[in-house]
Amino acid sequence: MHLATPGRRDAPVPPDDAGVSFVMPVLNEQRYLRRAVASTLAQEVPGPVELVLALGPSTDATDVIAREIAAADSRVVLVDNPAADIPVGLNLAIRASRYPTIVRVDAHSELVPGYTRRALATLARTRAANVGGVMRADGRTPFQRAVARAYNSRAGLGGGAYHGGTEEGAAESAYLGVFRRAVLEEVGGFDESIRRGEDWELNLRIRRAGYRVWFDPTLSVVYWPRESWSRLVRQFRATGAWRGELVRRYGRRNSLRFFAPPALVIAAVVSLIVGALQIAGVARGRTASATHVPVAAYAVLVGAVASGRGGGRGWRDRLWTAAVLPSMHVPWGVGFLWALVRGARDTVDTSRLSGRNTPLP
C-alpha cells in the first residue's frame, strides 16, 4: 500500500441506489441479537440491502435465533466464523456481501432510525472512505446504566470524539463505521492478527492511504455495555492489552489519552510502595508524600463524577458509578502494561465467551 497525505484522496461515490451491506459479527448474543437485527433491517435507504451475520461458536441460543431470523427474511445471510475473533468475522462477512457500501453493526448495539441514510449522505458530501458517529451507551439495569454513564463521560473513556463529540470533521477513528468497499479492498480489510482495537488500526491504514475518516455527530448508535462487574473487568483488561500491542506496533501514532490508565496503575503501585515505606519509617518528607497526589487526584475525580449530574439520580446509582470507573481504568491499565512488555499474544476478551442469560423481551 502506498503512503499518501491523509485527506487528499476522495473515496468513490457509487450511485444512490447501488445497495448497502450490513455486516455483524455475533457471539453469545441471545439477549441482544433480535433487537440489533431489527434496528438494522428497519433502516430506510435507497436500493437493496443485506445483513450478513458472522456466527462465532456460541454456547447459548444465538445460532438458533440467527437461523430463525434468516429463515424469515431473505435479506439475512449467515456465514460461519469458527475463529470467533471479531476482525476475522468482519472480513468473512464483507467477503460474503455484495454491495459497494459496508455498514458495520455490533450485536450489542441498535442503529437509530435514519442512521444509514444520513451516513450515506455524509459519505457522498465529504467523499470520505469511512464515517461514524456517537456511541450512545445505555443500560437496562442499575449496573449497566452506571457503565453507560461512564462510557458517556469524558472521565470514563478519555473524551474521544465518538463518546460525545459535537464538532463534525476529520477523525482519527470512527465507531463501527460506514465504509466504501473499494477502499476496504484497497487497504486489505481488517487485520486479523489484532483482536481488539481493529477498527483504530484499520482507520490508521485508511488515513495513511490518503483517504478521510469522518466524524458526524448527527449519527448515533445505541450501545449496551456488559451486564456484570466480572465481564466489564475482563473486557477492559483485554482492551487494554490490545492497546498496549498497538502501541508496540505503531508507537506515537496512538493518542496520548490511551496512556492515562497505565499511568494511573503505575502511580497507584508507587503510592502503595511509598506508603508501606512510610509506615515502616523508611520514607519521610514531602517528596514521599507527593507520590500520593496522583492517586488522591484520581479519587477526587471519581468522586466528582459520581456525585455530579453524570453520576445518576439516586445514591445507588452514584455508588455504582464510583465503582465502575476504576473497574474500567485499572484493568485497562494493567492489560496495557502487561502487553507493552510481552505483547498481547493470544489475549481474548473472555467477557464474550459466556452467554447464559435469558433473552430480553
Asked if residue 113 and residue 39 are part of one domain, the reply reads: yes
> Residue 86: which CATH number?
3.90.550.10
The predicted structure's pLDDT at residue 257: 84
Task: Provide the pairing of β-strand 76-80 with 178-180.
Answer: unpaired
Ordered alpha helix ranges (H), the chain: 33-41, 62-72, 86-96, 115-126, 142-152, 154-157, 181-187, 198-208, 229-250, 260-279, 286-290, 293-307, 315-342
Residue 239 included in any domain:
no
* 175-204 average pLDDT score: 94
Q: Which residue has the cell 453507560?
A: 148
* 126-146 average pLDDT score: 92
> Which band of pLDDT confidence, cut at 50, 70 and 90, is reported for residue 284?
confident
| Cβ contact 232:321 at 8 Å | no
Task: Check whether 355 has a pLDDT greater than 50.
Answer: no
The predicted structure's pLDDT at residue 158: 63
Asked if residue 36 and residue 100 are part of one domain, the reply reads: yes
- What is the span of the domain harbouring residue 331? 249-345
Residue 104 included in any domain:
yes
Express as a percent the part of the chain with pLDDT over 90.
Answer: 70
Residue 98 included in any domain:
yes
If we measure between CA atoms, which residue out of 24, 19, 42 comes closest to residue 112? Answer: 42
> Which band of pLDDT confidence, cut at 50, 70 and 90, is reported for residue 36?
very high
The predicted structure's pLDDT at residue 1: 45
Q: pLDDT tens, 248-259?
A: 998 877 888 889
The predicted structure's pLDDT at residue 2: 47
Task: Check whether 309 has a pLDDT greater than 80.
Answer: no
Asked if residue 75 and residue 202 are part of one domain, the reply reads: yes
Asked if residue 208 and residue 270 are part of one domain, the reply reads: no
Q: What are phi and psi of 200, to 5 degrees?
A: -60, -45
Asked if residue 201 and residue 289 are part of one domain, the reply reads: no
* 109-114 average pLDDT score: 94
What is the reported pTM?
A: 0.88
Task: Check whether 358 has a pLDDT greater than 70.
Answer: no
Residue 353 included in any domain:
no
d(CA 115, CA 93): 20
The predicted structure's pLDDT at residue 161: 58
Residue 131 included in any domain:
yes
Residue 94 included in any domain:
yes
* 66-77 average pLDDT score: 97
The predicted structure's pLDDT at residue 164: 60
Task: Check whether 330 has a pLDDT greater than 80.
Answer: yes
* 305-326 average pLDDT score: 82
Asked if residue 221 and residue 95 are part of one domain, the reply reads: yes
Asked if residue 283 and residue 139 are part of one domain, the reply reads: no
* 215-224 average pLDDT score: 92
The predicted structure's pLDDT at residue 360: 42
| Cβ contact 143:293 at 8 Å | no
Integer-rounded Cα radius of gyration of the chain: 21
The predicted structure's pLDDT at residue 282: 84
Residue 277 included in any domain:
yes
If we measure between CA atoms, which residue out of 175, 177, 135 comes closest to residue 11? Answer: 177
> What residue type is assigned to position 234 of the chain?
R
Residue 339 included in any domain:
yes
The predicted structure's pLDDT at residue 217: 92
The predicted structure's pLDDT at residue 361: 37
The predicted structure's pLDDT at residue 350: 82
Asked if residue 270 and residue 124 are part of one domain, the reply reads: no
Asked if residue 79 and residue 186 are part of one domain, the reply reads: yes
Lowest-pLDDT range of 87-96, 187-196, 207-216, 347-356: 347-356
| Structural domains of the chain, count | 2
Mean residue pLDDT across the chain: 90
> Which band of pLDDT confidence, cut at 50, 70 and 90, is reported for residue 354?
low
Highest mean pLDDT among 116-130, 161-175, 304-318: 116-130
Asked if residue 92 and residue 27 are part of one domain, the reply reads: yes
Task: Check whether 357 has a pLDDT greater than 50.
Answer: no
Asked if residue 159 and residue 49 are part of one domain, the reply reads: yes
| Cβ contact 160:246 at 8 Å | no
Asked if residue 256 and residue 146 are part of one domain, the reply reads: no
